[in-house]
Amino acid sequence: MATITVNVGDEVYGKFRKLAAEVRNGKKGFLGDAITESMGKYIEEKEQEVIVKRLLAKMKKGVKIGFKGYRNRDELYADRMEHILAGRH
């Protein structure tokens, strides 16, 4: 377990403390438990944002999947026929 010292605005602290006490019935350690839960949720949210950013970057970059662009069906079928005749189907 770690001990941290942070500066938080009075209004935010007051609201957080009041709400945490209500939600956790004012039990011993309620503030630490609420802060730990909040930090965990913050971590999950930010990790998801990082994952989304990485995936969006990959999507923008594109992935080569070996697709050969055909201008029309005749080109597609001609290419397929070449593969069939060459025994590569």
In tens, the pLDDT along 27-79 reads 999 999 999 999 999 999 999 999 999 999 988 887 666 667 778 888 888 88
Q: What is the pTM of this model?
A: 0.61
The per-residue pLDDT for 58 is: 86
d(CA 23, CA 46): 25
The per-residue pLDDT for 14 is: 97
